Homo-oligomer: A and B are copies of this chain.
Amino acid sequence: MTTARYIRIHENDNVVTIANDGGLPAGTMLDNGIELREAVPQGHKVALTNLSPGDVVRRYNVVIGRANTEIPKGGWVNEHRLDMPPPPQLDDLPIGNDDTVLEPLEGYTFEGFRNPDGSVGTRNLLAISTSVQCVSGVVAHAVERIRRELLPKYPNVDDVISLDHVYGCGVAIQAPDAVIPIRTLRNIARNPNFGGRTLVVSLGCEKLQADVFFPERFIPIKSGGFQRQDDNIALVTLQDESNIGFDGMIQAIMKAAEEQLVVLNQRVRTTCPVSDLVVGVQCGGSDAFSGVSANPVVGYATDLFVRAGASVMFSEVTEVRDGIAQLTARAANPEVARQLVEQMDWYDRYLGRGSADRSANTSPGNKRGGLSNIVEKAMGSIVKSGSTPIRGVIPPGERCTTRGLNFAATPASDFVCGTLQLAAGMTLHVFTTGRGTPYGLKEVPVVKVATRSDLARRWHDLMDINAGRVVDGDATIEEMGWELFRYMIDVASGRAKTCAETLKLHNSLALFNPAPIT
C-alpha cells in the first residue's frame, strides 16, 4: 500500500494538498488523522476542518476563497466549491522601503560574450530583425542559405535567426499603446546575445519605417531610404530598386549578413562575474505543485543570483495581482511600490476595456492540476521571485537597467512574457511547469524545471531539472536551488545545452500589442 503524502504550506492553512501520483481514494487515512471523504486527485486540496458556506479557505496563509457549500473535514476543496475573493484594492497598500542587502555571494563566474556596451551574452547569434511580416518568407529562405553557406566559415557564431512577428503594418502605429510593440521589437534587437549588431530587413512601404523602428540610428534621406548613423546597424530594403527579383533580395540579405558575421565571429567567451547575467523567470502550465516544488526552487536560485549581483526579472501581472500587497511591501523604496501599483492599475483597465478581469488567467489545466483560482495560482507564482527586495519595475517592452530583483510587467501568456523578457535584455531563461510544455526560444537558452517527478520521468528529454524530488522527499529546496543555480551557470557558459537547445525546439515571438490593428 502506498503511503499517503500531502503538503501543508503554512501552519495557518486549513487545507493540505495531496502529493501522491494519481491522487488518493476515498477512505484513505492521512497521518494527521484526516480521512478522505472522497477520492482526491494529485495536487488537489483536502479540508482539515468542516467548512460551511462563507468560511474562508486558507493556503500559503492567504485567503484563496470562501466555501460556497458545506465541505466536511476530509472533503475535496475544488474550484466549484470555492468563491474567489475580490481583487485587492490598489489605494491602501503597504509601501515598502526595504533596502536590505542579502549576504553577497562572491566568486561565481560564467563564460560569456562581453559586448562593447558592457552587456554580456550567453550565446553568439546573428539576429535578423524584420520590420514587417511581409518580408518573413524571403528572410526564411535567406536564413537557410546563410546557415548552410556562410555559417561554416564563422565557427564562433552559434546560429543565425530571424526575429519574425506580425506587427509592422496594418496597425494603428500612432495609437497611444503602439509604443509597446515598437519598443519591444527595438529592444529585442539589442539583446546581448546578438553582440550589439543589428541587421534589419525591411519591405520599404510599411508603417514601421527604419527611423521609427530605430530612431537616431537611421535618418530619412531626401531621395528616399535612410542613412545609418551607426556602423553597427545595417538595413536591407526589399523594395530598393537595386534588388532584382527574389535572388537579388537573397543576395542583398546574405551580403549584409556576412558583414555582420565577420564581426560576430570575433566574439569569444571570457570569464565574467555572474552579476552580468540577466535572468528571466517564468512559469507555464502550472499545477498545485508549482508553488510547492519548482517555484520555491527557482525562488531559491533567484536569491542566489541576486546575492551574486545579477539582474533577475519575474513577471506576469495577472499572476501577481492578488499578491500585490506582498510585492509593494517588498519594494526597495516607495517609488518602486508606486510603479508596481501603476502597472497593476494599467492592466486592470486594459482587461476592463475588453470586458475581462484577472480571473481570465487560470486555464483548464491549472484547475485540473489543483489550482482552484487565480488567487491560489498567484501565491504559487510569486514564490519564483524569492525573498529579496524588489529594486526595479520594467514597463512592457522596456529594458532592465537595475541589478537585483525586478518586476517586468508583462502578460502571463508564456510567449508574450518571454518576448518581453527578451526585450528587457534577458540572456538566460528559467521556466517551471507542472502540466508540461516543450517551450523553447531561439534567442536564449530556456532551462525547464518540472514540478513533479512523474512529468520529469515521462518527459525525460524535455525537462532539464526535476524539482519533483522535493515533493518526493528526495531533496530539499535549498539543495535543488543550488543545483539549478549551478546548472544555469553551466548553460550560460555554453558548457551545458538545454533540452530545448538539443532538440532545437523553438517557439515564436509573440508581441503584446494593446493598440488596434487597421
- Scoring A140, A243, A507 by chain B CB atoms within 10 A of each residue's CB, the highest score goes to A507
A203 touches B133 (CB 8 A): no
Residues from chain B with a CB closer than 8 A to the CB of A365 are 203-206, 239
B205 touches A435 (CB 8 A): yes
For A509, give the chain B residue with the smallest CB separation: B166
A246 touches B206 (CB 8 A): no
Expressed in whole angstroms, the Cα–Cα distance for A490 and B361 within the complex equals 49
Proximity string of chain A (482-518) to chain B, C-beta cutoff 8 Å, 1 when within and 0 when not? 0000000000000000001001111110101011111
Expressed in whole angstroms, the Cα–Cα distance for A245 and B205 within the complex equals 45
Residues from chain B with a CB closer than 8 A to the CB of A517 are 411, 413, 416, 512
A411 smallest CB distance to B (angstroms): 5
A245 touches B166 (CB 8 A): no
A302 smallest CB distance to B (angstroms): 22
Does residue A233 face the partner (Cβ distance < 8 Å to B)? Answer: no
Q: Give the number of residues in A that approach B within 8 Å (Cβ atoms).
A: 85
Is chain A's interface secondary structure helix, strand, loop, or mixed overall? loop
Q: A354-B516, A363-B207 are in contact. Are A244 and B458 (CB under 8 A)?
A: yes
B437 touches A134 (CB 8 A): yes
Q: A176-B355, A351-B172, A516-B351 are in contact. Are A368 and B205 (CB under 8 A)?
A: yes
Residues from chain B with a CB closer than 8 A to the CB of A506 are 137, 140
When all copies of this chain in the complex are counted, the total is 2
A518 touches B438 (CB 8 A): no
Proximity string of chain A (442-465) to chain B, C-beta cutoff 8 Å, 1 when within and 0 when not? 000000000000000011111000
Expressed in whole angstroms, the Cα–Cα distance for A459 and B243 within the complex equals 8
Expressed in whole angstroms, the Cα–Cα distance for A462 and B141 within the complex equals 14
A206 touches B243 (CB 8 A): no
Interface residues of A in 187-231 (CB under 8 A from B): 203-207, 209, 224
Within 8 Å by CB of A285, from B134, B318, B503, B514, lies B134
B171 touches A206 (CB 8 A): no
Does residue A138 face the partner (Cβ distance < 8 Å to B)? Answer: yes
Does residue A415 face the partner (Cβ distance < 8 Å to B)? Answer: yes
Does residue A324 face the partner (Cβ distance < 8 Å to B)? Answer: no
Residues from chain B with a CB closer than 8 A to the CB of A360 are 171-175, 516, 518
A43 smallest CB distance to B (angstroms): 12
Interface residues of A in 138-192 (CB under 8 A from B): 138, 140-141, 164, 166, 169-177
A203 touches B437 (CB 8 A): yes
B516 touches A285 (CB 8 A): no
- Scoring A138, A439, A518 by chain B CB atoms within 10 A of each residue's CB, the highest score goes to A518
Within 8 Å by CB of A415, from B166, B177, B440, B507, lies B166
Chain A residues within CB distance 8 Å of chain B: 133-138, 140-141, 164, 166, 169-177, 203-207, 209, 224, 238-239, 241, 243-247, 249, 284-285, 318, 350-351, 353-356, 358, 360-361, 363-366, 368-369, 411-417, 435-440, 458-462, 500, 503-508, 510, 512, 514-518
Contacts beyond the supplied A204-B435, A411-B518, A413-B517: 18 A-B pairs with Cβ under 8 Å: A133-B508, A141-B505, A166-B508, A170-B416, A171-B360, A172-B360, A175-B355, A204-B365, A205-B363, A205-B435, A207-B363, A207-B364, A239-B365, A246-B459, A246-B462, A249-B438, A353-B353, A360-B518
13 interchain pairs, CB-CB under 8 A: A133-B414, A138-B438, A141-B504, A170-B411, A170-B417, A173-B360, A204-B435, A205-B369, A209-B364, A241-B458, A245-B461, A249-B438, A512-B517
A-B pairs with lowest CB-CB distance, top 8: A205-B365, A170-B413, A172-B356, A137-B505, A354-B516, A205-B435, A172-B360, A166-B510
